[in-house]
Amino acid sequence: MPLPEPLQNLVRALERLPGIGPKTASRLAFFLLRAPDDLAQDLAQALLQLKTGITYCQECFNIAGAGQTKCAICDSPQRDPGLICVVEDPLDVLALERTEAYNGRYHVLHGALSPIEGIGPEQLRIRELLARVEAGGVREVILATNPSLEGDYTAAYLRQRLKPLGVRLTRLARGLPAGGDLEYADQTTLLRALAGRQEMEE
């Protein structure tokens, strides 16, 4: 039985989300059909506002509210500007913030280097990171890219570029699940990785 077009459209859109297969997409679509009107309306409104209401911090490229040039972390005088934690994704910022153990600032690369996928330094926010460190006032850069092949490769590349700038370079301690994503690590593991961070050797 072919689904009526509005349902079909929703199912197809949901299927494009990560981790959602055709079965889950259908189940969600039927759930929304039966749910009270305000749920569908709230959801539609939130989705529409997502793109217009969010922008990226001009300093660290974390998410920021529309019309703001800086994110809440860069804007806070409580956060140490001499310490920069480099991560792949804004979700990694959220994960590290949940530990409540970090009081420096961040730099979000928006991905990792991947020669196979054709992602080079110019596709990431690397130029902006170098400029921040070159501007001075930075003591330490924590390379907190994911403990994966691409993440390690990116950290090694950044080390090479940042080393001549005379800044302390550290990498999160081992113990994070290898090949995994920072954002999925639990709070205790992240805390330990942050506290046990080590100088990055060649």
Q: What SS3 state is found at 189? A: helix
How far apart are the C-alpha atoms of 58 and 56, rounded to whole Å? 6
CB 114 within 8 A of CB 150: yes
Is 59 a residue that touches Zn ion (CB under 5 A)? yes
89 near Zn ion, rule: CB under 5 A: no
Q: How far apart are CA 98 and CA 133, in angstroms?
A: 26
57 binding Zn ion? (CB under 5 A): yes
**What would the two tokens of residue 113 be?**
């280097």
Other Cβ atoms within 10 Å of 176 Cβ, number: 21
Choose the binding region for Zn ion from 6-14, 57-65, 87-95, 123-131 (rule: CB under 5 A). Answer: 57-65
Distance in angstroms (rounded) separating the CA atoms of residues 174 and 54: 34
Pick 62 or 148: Cβ nearer Zn ion: 62
- Angle between helical axes of 149-162 and 126-134 (0-180°, round to 10): 30
**125 part of the interface to Zn ion, by CB under 5 A:** no
Does the footprint of Zn ion cover residue 74 (CB under 5 A)? yes
Q: Which residues pair with 104 in a beta bridge?
A: 80
- C-beta of 145 vs 189, nearer to Zn ion: 145
- 102 lies in the site for Zn ion, by CB under 5 A: no
Site membership for Zn ion, residue 84 (CB under 5 A): no
Determine the interface stretch with Zn ion among 44-52, 56-64, 80-88, 116-124 (rule: CB under 5 A): 56-64
**Only segment of 34-42, 61-69, 107-115, 148-156 that touches Zn ion (CB under 5 A):** 61-69
**Residue 129 binds Zn ion, judged by CB under 5 A:** no
Which CB atom, from 90 or from 147, has the smaller least distance to Zn ion?
90
Burial class of residue 49, CB neighbours in 10 A (0-12, 13-18, 19+):
exposed
Q: How far is the CB of 60 from Zn ion (least distance, A)?
A: 3
Which residue in the block uniquely carries the two structure tokens 């189940």?
27
User: Which residue from 60, 96, 129, 158 is in contact with Zn ion, where contact means CB under 5 A?
Assistant: 60
Map tokens 């990226």 to a residue.
56
190 binds Zn ion (CB under 5 A): no
Q: Does 62 bind Zn ion (CB under 5 A)?
A: yes
Binding site for Zn ion (CB under 5 A): 57, 59-60, 62, 71, 74
